[in-house]
C-alpha cells in the first residue's frame, strides 16, 4: 500500500487535484460528509452570517478538505524547489534566533489547511533542530505514513506521551517544538475550559506549562491560502520570558485569540468536520 501511495505522489499536483475534484463531489453531493457537524459548528461560530454565507463556507471547506489529501500525498515526494514555490514562510528567522540564543522555542498553531505543509515547511526553512509532537493515529499504517510526510525535509517526530518523558531535555538541547494546540484533550487529561468561537471548548495547556516553567519563547504560526496549492505561513511572536505578571492561562488565551482571528480571516480553511466542541 505504501508503495502505491508513493507512486501516486510522483504525479504532478494538478493531476492529483483532478482526483481531489472527484472526492469533493462525492463528499459534498453524495455523502454529505459530516454535514450536520459542520453546519452546527459554523452556526455557533458565525451567528452574524446568513445561512447562505455559512453554506458557502461549508462548500469551500469541502474543497480545501479534499485538496489537503492530494497535497499531503504529494508531500511524500515533493521537491524542495516546488515546495518553496508553493509555500511561503515569513519570519522563520524568529525560530533560529531563539535557538541560537541557547533556549528552545515553542511553535503553536491550529488545524487550518494545510497544516501538514506547515510542519515540513518549518523543517525546510530553518537551521535549528525541529521536533513535532503528535497524537498517535490508531491505524499503524497511516501513523507511519504521516510521520514519513512530516520528516520529508528532516526533523524529528515524537508521540505526545513520549514527549512528556523527554521534555526536560529542552534546556540542555535547544530546539523548536511544534505543537498542534487546538486539539481536543480527552477527559482523562488535564484540560482548560474557555469559550472558543462563541461556545465552551477545552484545550491542552502544554505550551502554557512549558513556556512558564522553562522560560521558553512562544511563536504562533498564522496560515493563509493565497490560491489553490499555494500558502503563506507567518511566524508571529506570541509571548516571551520573563513571564512576571502573566495571569494563569495567559498563553492559552492569547493563542485562542490569535487562532480565532486567523479562522475569521479565511473560515473555510479550518477543520469544521471535527467535533471540536465536545466537552
- pLDDT tens digits, one per residue of 56-103: 999 999 999 999 999 999 999 999 999 999 999 999 999 999 999 999
Backbone angles phi, psi at 210, to 5 degrees: -65, -45
Would you give the DSSP letter of residue 130? E
* pLDDT for residue 279 is more than 80: no
Q: What is the pLDDT at residue 190?
A: 85
C-alpha cell at 24: 469533493
Contact predicate 9/76, CB 8 Å: yes
Q: What is the pLDDT at residue 166?
A: 87
Q: What is the pLDDT at residue 150?
A: 96
Backbone angles phi, psi at 200, to 5 degrees: -60, 140
pLDDT band at 1 (very low <50, low <70, confident <90, very high): low
Would you give the DSSP letter of residue 272? T
- Range 161-184 average pLDDT: 93
b/e map 1-21, b = 16+ CB within 10 Å? eeeeeeebbebebeebbeebe
Distance, in Å, from the CA atom of 37 to the CA atom of 63, rounded to the nearest integer, reads 17
| 162: enclosing H helix or E strand | helix 160-166
Q: Is the pLDDT higher at 2 or at 81?
A: 81
Closest listed residue to residue 104, CA positions, set 166, 163, 171? 171
- Residue 274, Cβ neighbours under 10 Å: how many? 16
* pLDDT for residue 223 is more than 90: yes
Distance, in Å, from the CA atom of 146 to the CA atom of 98, rounded to the nearest integer, reads 28
Virtual torsion, Cα 244, 246, 247, 250, nearest 10 deg: -150
**Roughly how many angstroms between the first and final C-alpha of the chain, as a whole number?**
36
Closest listed residue to residue 196, CA positions, set 259, 274, 273? 259
pLDDT digits (tens, 9 = 90+) for 116-150: 999 999 999 999 999 999 988 889 898 999 999 99
Q: What is the pLDDT at residue 101?
A: 97
Q: What 3-state class would DSSP assign to 150?
A: helix
Mean model confidence pLDDT for the chain: 95
- Range 171-186 average pLDDT: 93
Polymer length in residues for the chain: 279
Surface-to-core class of residue 69, CB atoms within 10 Å of its CB (0-12 exposed, 13-18 middle, 19+ buried) = middle
| 70: enclosing H helix or E strand | helix 51-74
pLDDT digits (tens, 9 = 90+) for 13-64: 999 999 999 999 999 999 999 999 999 999 999 999 999 999 999 999 999 9
Q: How many helices (H) and strands (E) does the chain have?
A: 11, 9
* pLDDT for residue 238 is more than 70: yes
Distance, in Å, from the CA atom of 154 to the CA atom of 23, rounded to the nearest integer, reads 30
Amino acid at each position: 500500500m505504501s508503495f502505491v501511495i508513493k507512486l501516486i505522489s510522483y504525479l504532478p499536483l494538478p493531476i492529483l487535484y483532478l482526483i481531489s475534484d472527484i472526492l469533493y463531489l462525492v463528499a459534498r453531493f453524495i455523502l454529505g460528509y459530516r454535514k450536520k457537524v459542520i453546519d452546527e459548528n459554523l452556526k455557533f461560530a458565525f451567528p452574524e452570517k446568513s445561512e447562505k454565507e455559512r453554506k458557502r463556507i461549508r462548500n469551500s471547506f469541502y474543497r480545501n478538505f479534499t485538496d489537503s489529501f492530494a497535497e499531503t500525498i504529494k508531500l511524500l515526494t515533493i521537491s524542495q524547489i516546488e515546495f518553496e514555490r508553493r509555500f511561503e514562510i515569513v519570519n522563520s528567522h524568529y525560530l533560529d534566533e531563539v535557538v541560537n540564543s541557547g533556549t528552545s522555542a515553542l511553535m503553536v498553531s491550529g488545524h487550518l489547511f494545510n497544516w501538514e505543509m506547515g510542519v515540513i515547511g518549518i523543517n525546510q526553512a530553518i537551521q535549528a533542530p525541529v521536533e513535532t509532537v503528535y497524537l498517535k493515529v490508531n491505524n499503524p499504517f497511516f501513523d507511519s505514513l504521516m510521520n514519513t510526510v512530516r520528516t520529508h525535509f528532516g526533523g524529528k517526530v515524537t508521540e505526545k506521551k513520549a514527549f512528556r518523558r523527554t521534555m526536560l531535555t529542552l534546556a540542555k538541547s535547544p530546539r523548536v517544538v511544534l505543537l498542534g494546540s487546538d486539539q481536543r484533550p480527552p477527559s482523562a487529561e488535564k484540560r482548560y475550559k474557555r469559550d472558543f468561537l462563541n461556545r465552551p471548548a477545552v484545550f491542552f495547556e502544554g505550551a502554557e506549562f512549558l513556556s512558564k516553567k522553562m522560560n521558553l519563547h512562544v511563536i504562533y504560526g498564522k496560515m493563509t491560502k493565497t490560491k489553490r496549492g499555494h500558502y503563506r505561513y507567518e511566524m508571529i511572536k506570541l509571548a516571551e520570558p520573563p513571564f512576571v505578571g502573566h495571569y494563569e492561562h495567559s498563553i492559552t488565551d492569547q493563542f485562542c485569540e490569535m487562532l480565532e482571528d486567523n479562522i475569521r480571516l479565511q473560515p473555510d480553511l479550518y477543520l469544521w468536520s471535527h467535533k471540536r466542541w465536545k466537552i
